[in-house]
Every structure is written in C-alpha cells, then in structure tokens.
C-alpha cells in the first residue's frame, strides 16, 4: 500500500487540477457568440466547400511519404548519440557485442543509402510533384 499511495495521490491531484481548470474557465471565460464564432474553422480560411469532400490521393501520398522518411530518420538518432559518447559503440566493441566500430558505421551508412534510394524512387515516381 505504501508503494501505490504516491501514484494514487498523483492521480487525485491531476484529476482535481484538470477539473478545476475546466470549471474555472467556464466560470470566468467570456460567453459572447456570433455568426463568425459559430462558423467552422479551417486553418484560417473561409470554408467554401462541403466538409465531407474527398481529398486527392496525392495529398495522402505526400503525407505517408513524409511519415515514412520521418520515422526512418528517427532510427539514426540512437546511432548518432552512441557514436559521440565514449560508452556507446566503443563499449559494445569492448564487450564483444560488435566486432568493430567500422561495422556499425557501415551499417548506418547502408541504412542512409537505402533511405536515399527510397527518396530517389519516390522522386522519380513524381510523389513530390504537386499538381
């Protein structure tokens, strides 16, 4: 029970603060409404189309391509951090987990090369060309 008490206290305080902020905003906040405030917000532009219109497939291709390259580049951060610290790759080589520092660098460069090949393929297919 002693171990769970701080967690329960934290949850209770978080719930009280969140409920208090919502109630306080409703009590103190302005209540003016008008035609402009009732209009749907679409990135600062006046809505001119139906909200249920279809997006072009190219929008989704660009979005998915961005996500793929973004996630792939996130895989480079652990390698970059491990290569800068003395306890990273050198410690793994000393413990026998990796045969050499060059092997880790070669693997990272192979990964970068594959990302570049994927980028070139997408560029050749015209994914980045907005029509």
Per the structure, the count of domains in the chain is 1
The whole-number pLDDT of residue 102 equals 83
Q: Is residue 65 predicted with pLDDT exceeding 90?
A: no
Instruction: Provide the token pair at 79.
Output: 């390698």
Residue 3 has a pLDDT of 86
- The rounded distance, in Å, linking the Cα atoms of 78 and 72 is 12
6 belongs to a structural domain: no
In a domain, 3, yes or no: no
Phi, psi of 42 (to 5 degrees): -130, 80
In a domain, 42, yes or no: no
In a domain, 68, yes or no: yes
Where in the sequence is the domain holding 74, given as residue range(s)?
Answer: 57-125
Is position 18 within any domain?
Answer: no
Is 16 contained in some domain?
Answer: no
Whether the Cβ atoms of residue 93 and residue 99 lie closer than 8 Å to each other: yes
CB atoms within 10 A of CB 89: 20
Domain membership flag for residue 77: yes
131 or 67, higher pLDDT: 67
In a domain, 85, yes or no: yes
Residue closest to 111 by CA, chosen among 87, 68, 80, 76: 76
Q: Which of 105, 115, 113, 99 is nearest to 82 (CA)?
A: 105
pLDDT in tens, 82-115: 777 667 777 878 888 878 878 888 888 898 898 8
Confidence of residue 69 (pLDDT cuts 50, 70, 90): confident
């Amino acid at each position: 029970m002693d171990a769970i008490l701080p967690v329960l206290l934290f949850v209770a305080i978080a719930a009280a603060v969140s409920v208090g902020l919502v109630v306080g905003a409703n009590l103190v906040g302005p209540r003016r409404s008008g035609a402009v405030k009732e209009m749907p917000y679409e990135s600062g532009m006046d809505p001119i189309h139906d909200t249920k219109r279809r997006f072009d497939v190219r929008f989704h291709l660009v979005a998915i391509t961005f996500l793929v390259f973004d996630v792939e580049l996130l895989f480079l951060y652990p390698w970059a951090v491990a290569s800068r610290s003395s306890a990273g790759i050198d410690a793994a080589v000393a413990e026998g987990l990796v045969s050499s520092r060059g092997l880790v660098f070669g693997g990272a460069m192979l990964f970068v090369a594959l990302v570049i090949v994927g980028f070139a393929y997408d560029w050749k297919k015209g994914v980045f060309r907005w029509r």
